[in-house]
């Protein structure tokens, strides 16, 4: 997939800026740092945009990895600056070692939270059907018994619920 650099990047920015910013906010507790880091992240993404390929995963996954790496580089640089100010005494600052598992767990938590919020927007009985059938792993028959509706209705409503959920996730720009 060959990307037209400026056009595709501007589309990417509009579609994913909020999602990428959420990743940064999750990593950094300081709102001012978030703005600085976000600026660096999108600059790094812009510089690397032509190197993206679908083999590296979705845009969101690729950009989230750049956001994570930019955050850690930013933190490392800030620690060094703070150490210099204190003449090498860094005992008051945390050391932060990043692990791939942490980032993977972070991405999963962000997506799970978005999914929970999206499910909450569904009307009834679609919301209950998704929760029972897909989250609680109820069988079709058990779901129909709990909701006191036919299995056929559960099947139909499940398809509708999944469509509504997909639309809501797309509206929120969440990529699974």
Q: Is 94 helix (H, G, I), strand (E, B) or coil?
A: coil
Q: Are residues 73 and 136 in the same domain?
A: no
Residue 94 lies in a domain: no
Q: Are residues 75 and 6 in the same domain?
A: yes
* The pLDDT value given to residue 97: 46
Q: Are residues 105 and 129 in the same domain?
A: yes
Residue 88 lies in a domain: no
Asked if the model's pLDDT at residue 113 lies above 90, the reply is no
Q: Are residues 127 and 64 in the same domain?
A: no
- Cα separation of 35 and 25, whole Å? 9
Domain that holds residue 32: 1-83
Residues 72-96 have pLDDT tens digits of 888 888 877 776 666 554 444 444 4
In 5-150, where does DSSP find H-type helix?
5-27, 31-48, 59-85, 100-120, 126-129, 140-147
Residues 93-111 have pLDDT tens digits of 444 445 556 766 777 788 7
Residues 3-28 have pLDDT tens digits of 555 566 777 778 778 888 888 888 87
Q: Which residue has the higher pLDDT, 174 or 114?
A: 114
């Amino acid at each position: 997939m060959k990307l037209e650099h400026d056009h595709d990047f501007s589309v990417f920015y509009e579609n994913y800026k909020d999602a990428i910013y959420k990743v940064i906010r999750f990593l950094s507790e300081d709102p001012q740092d978030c703005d600085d880091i976000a600026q660096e992240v999108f600059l790094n993404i812009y510089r690397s945009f032509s190197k993206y390929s679908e083999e590296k995963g979705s845009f969101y996954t690729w950009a989230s990895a750049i956001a994570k790496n930019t955050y850690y580089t930013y933190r490392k640089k800030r620690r060094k600056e703070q150490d210099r100010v204190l003449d090498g005494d860094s005992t008051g600052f945390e050391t932060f070692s990043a692990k791939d598992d942490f980032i993977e767990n972070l991405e999963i938590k962000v997506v799970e939270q978005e999914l929970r919020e999206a499910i909450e927007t569904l009307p009834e009985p679609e919301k209950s059907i998704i929760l029972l059938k897909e989250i609680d792993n109820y069988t079709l028959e058990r779901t129909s018994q709990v909701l006191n509706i036919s299995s056929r209705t559960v099947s139909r409503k499940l398809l509708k619920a999944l469509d509504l959920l997909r639309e809501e996730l797309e509206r929120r720009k969440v990529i699974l």
